[in-house]
Homo-oligomer: A and B are copies of this chain.
Amino acid sequence: MIVILKSNPNPNQLESLKNWIHGKGINIHESTGDSHQILGLVGDTSKLDMDLISALDIVEDVKRVQEPYKNANRKFHPEDTIVNVLNKTKIGGKNLTLIAGPCSVETEKQMIEVAHAVKAAGATVLRGGAFKPRTSPYAFQGLGKEGLRLLMLASRESGLPIVTEIMEISQLPLFDDVDIIQVGARNMQNFNLLKELGSQKKPILLKRGMSATYEEWLMSAEYLMSEGCEDVILCERGIRTFETYTRNTLDLAAIPVLKKLSHFPVVIDPSHATGKADLVEPLAMAAVAAGADGLMIEVHNDPAHALCDGKQSITPEVFAKIAKKTLSLKAYLNSEEA
């Protein structure tokens, strides 16, 4: 951490700042320039409060040198995290995991049909929403508990593990048989929920907040890890920008960046990112080529009558085509690298 002092700092205040820093077991290297005096703080500064130092009268600015996350940091955890889901599928490594299913769970027939169809096409995880975060209180809010029951039924029928979104802590007991718990974009900084989930023994799929930076996202993963969770999966689903043609702007640079800064598998959700069914295939292909570990795709047996987000859903037939193309692409890329 580097502390840049204002010109002519009050000597008593400077002395007391230095003493306080030394008291934290941190050494100080000083540089005096023409216009600024600088303190270089040497030691474990990850738990030092930048804002506190910035607030001092004699301080002009404080800059971090080290990342503020430790457990999530590739530097301290050089190997890739590979998430083993029930010994059925692995997310990370050389795999491309296809996670597919409807936005909302609606009926038993729908779930079972879709589960069989996506499995046949190559998906290894089934998705489906039982609790749905909807902008409007008048929109369909999901089937809730009954939705979870249908999801698990489809899981048993198809043999696919499931991922589904939790919206608040009190729902946790209902998630006992859920294989991967999803934290949605709107809850990425619901810190209480993160702490609670971090102490579970389940993989967590953590979606990026609509306007979250990479660092904030990794700090949310750090919340999970600081409570003991090892199996975090990051999911990019588009960020909010000025462009309104697509629902969000899919940020595929997130894939190589997150793989450099951290050790987690990265999954891409092209359906939510764009909100348009015809953009799913090209962006799914792009995600695989950029190194994504998985894709999360909305599939509905009757998209035009889907109860939510129908616009971005594709049919099982279209999904089968996308699955084939993306899995072939992954195989091609793996063979090129070998």
The 8 Å CB contact of A186, one of B31, B190, B306, B313, is: B190
Q: For A54, what are the chain B residues with a Cβ–Cβ distance below 8 Å? A: 310-311
The answer to whether A38 and B52 have CB atoms under 8 Å apart is: no
The answer to whether B244 and A239 have CB atoms under 8 Å apart is: no
Q: For A46, what are the chain B residues with a Cβ–Cβ distance below 8 Å? A: 138
The answer to whether B308 and A51 have CB atoms under 8 Å apart is: yes
The answer to whether B137 and A310 have CB atoms under 8 Å apart is: no
Contact with B along A169-212 (1 / 0, CB 8 A): 11000000000000000110111110100000000000000110
Q: How far is the CA of A239 from the CA of B190 in the complex (A)?
A: 18
Q: How far is the CA of A21 from the CA of B279 in the complex (A)?
A: 28
Main secondary structure of the interface of A (DSSP, over half): mixed
The 8 Å CB contact of A68, one of B55, B136, B241, B306, is: B136
Interface residue A66 (Cβ < 8 Å from any Cβ of B): yes
The answer to whether B251 and A249 have CB atoms under 8 Å apart is: yes
Interface hub of A43, A136, A210 (most chain B Cβ within 10 A): A136
Knowing A40-B33, A168-B192, A303-B55 are in contact, say whether A49-B251 is a contact too (CB < 8 A): no
Beyond contacts A54-B310, A168-B192: 4 other A-B pairs, Cβ-Cβ < 8 A, are A52-B305, A168-B168, A246-B253, A253-B279
- Chain A residues near B (Cβ < 8 Å): 2, 4, 27, 29-36, 38, 40-44, 46-47, 49, 51-52, 54-57, 61, 63, 65-66, 68-69, 75, 133-141, 167-170, 186-187, 189-193, 195, 210-211, 213-216, 219, 222-223, 226, 239-246, 249-253, 255-257, 260, 273-274, 277-279, 282-283, 285-291, 303-311, 313, 325, 328-329, 332-333, 336
A-B contact pairs, 16 of them (CB 8 A): A29-B32, A35-B65, A36-B66, A46-B138, A49-B139, A49-B308, A52-B304, A136-B222, A137-B226, A168-B192, A211-B242, A214-B245, A243-B251, A252-B283, A256-B279, A328-B336
